[in-house]
Amino acid sequence: MNLKVKNALISVANKENLISLLKALKKFNINIISSGGTYNSIKKLGYQCTELSKYTGFKEMLDGRVKTLHPKIHAGILHDRQNKKHKNEMYKQNFPAIDLIIVNFYPFQKIVLNIKNPNQIIENIDIGGPTLVRAAAKNFKNVTIVTNRNDYRSLIKELENLKGKTSLKFRELMSSKAFGLTAYYDAMIANWFNKKLKIEFPERKTIFGRKLQKLRYGENPHQQSSLYVNDYDDEQLGFNQVHGKELSYNNYSDMFASLEILDTLKKNSGTVIIKHTNPCGVSENKIPIISFKNAYASDPISAFGGVIACNYRINKKIANEITKNFLEVILAKGFDNESLKILKRKKNLRIIDISNFKLKRLASIKIFDGSFLIQSKDNIVLDRKKLKCVTKLKPTKKELAEIKFAFNVCKYVKSNAIVLCNNFSTIGIGAGQPSRLDSCKIAIQKAKQFQSSKIKYSIAASDAFFPFADGMNALIKAGVKTIIQPGGSIRDQEVINAANKAKIKMFFTGVRHFNH
């Protein structure tokens, strides 16, 4: 049913794009009610407007906390135009109908980003705005609610096409958007309180998100997908694409995986190569070009069409190395002019500047049908109190640093995970196998295929304990001289005995790193 719009209430924190809207309302003789800053803005733009306090006969109070919370306003919005009782009550009270509500809220999320004072943040929790929105959205059969200035154009088009009226279909669409906004707004506030009170797992958990981009498709072409931002700063992700094709669902998935690992490489220039969310090459070195080459050498075949993330600035020399191979995405902390000229020759290569990106390390979430799992991030690598050298041979200082590097990489590999390292670079990775022995075999096979000379005296990291000595024996036979694993198996002594017999070093961490 198409309904004529006679009276509109406008109360917006963001005054952008008001002029085009006001022109349309004037064209169709729609009366405007407003208050505060919105009222002043409308008057300055040269349009007629009734001040809210004059409309209700009640001055705002409590420093503006009570303005629109008035029966004349809410009855005007909520009454059912087809209900005789409602119509009689409205007539007796002399309350006109309000047919259009245009509201956006106090900028709570921007205040949270810029202000630390809790009292100021609480003052920017909008009460009147969400109440108006919910009332109008509930009564969409009779009232049009617009909560986003990007929808002003759609409203104007609706009024133009229907000569000052709105359709039920349009009102219902705007209602769905309105309830989405109030849920989003309340979720942000609830999450702020949870964070303030250090409540990690509240009784009710709402995950808020703003759609940043509709993606071409999901993991496969027949799947639909979109990218959402779950942050108070919900208009960007903190990195900047400077060249290349539009990023896909799989690109983002691999990029997020690469940034997780890259954030842990703090001491030297770090390079991470990801394929299908698994690392296939990770390296740290004082010299960026060496770090890049070592990471690539770990598994150059798997790196084909992968994502590379670097915690250093890309120069001409590294850019030339990058262009020797096919890659989907390169992320780095800046690119000099020469490197950009070289990289941009690859038309489809996505070039991402992560200079301003900061990982927040929030909880991880897995969704399944009508439920979801939440867990804190796996932020521990080694617990020094639990770390034990369980073999007769003891480690050097450098070996201790390198076992930490290997075990750190291991926690980002899909379980069961085995990672072989030499001189702070991966040389073989076995990922995602139901059998730990199979993961050992894959890691060995990769190392033999690409860097056989580095297997001797290499370090092997396992994300969980060895249930039998078979996997460990395969690693020892290949040339591994140091093994790091959580320990905790009923056959630990059997494994320790095998390590001592082979004269290798082995560490128990007491920390498991499953990554399902």
Catalogue the active-site residues.
138, 276
If you count them, how many residues does the chain have? 516
227 and 255 Cβ atoms separated by less than 8 Å: no
DSSP 219-266: SSTTS-EEEEE-SSSTT--S-EEEESSPPPHHHHHHHHHHHHHHTT--
Q: What is the dihedral of CA 218, 224, 229, 230, to 10 degrees?
A: -100
* Measured CA distances, 422 to 100, 295, 455 (Å): 68, 11, 8
Give the containing element (helix H, strand E) for 174: helix 168-196
Return the amino acid letter for 267.
Answer: K
Nearest to 90 by CA among 100, 99, 81: 81
Compute the C-alpha angle 439/256/245, nearest 5°. Answer: 115
* Measured CA distances, 491 to 88, 321, 465, 467, 511 (Å): 83, 46, 10, 7, 17
485 and 511 Cβ atoms separated by less than 8 Å: no
Q: Which residues contact 345 (CB under 8 A, 6 or more apart)?
A: 323
Q: Which residues contact 282 (CB under 8 A, 6 or more apart)?
A: 261, 265, 270, 271, 272, 273, 295, 298, 409, 425, 426
* Measured CA distances, 257 to 262, 376, 415, 428, 490 (Å): 9, 16, 15, 18, 33
* Measured CA distances, 358 to 41, 168, 374 (Å): 38, 45, 21
Give the containing element (helix H, strand E) for 291: helix 288-298
β-pair partners for 104: 12
DSSP 359-384: -----EEEEETTEEEEE-----S--T
104 and 14 Cβ atoms separated by less than 8 Å: yes
The residue whose two tokens read 């800046």 is: 334
* Measured CA distances, 374 to 100, 113, 265, 360, 409 (Å): 40, 24, 25, 16, 22
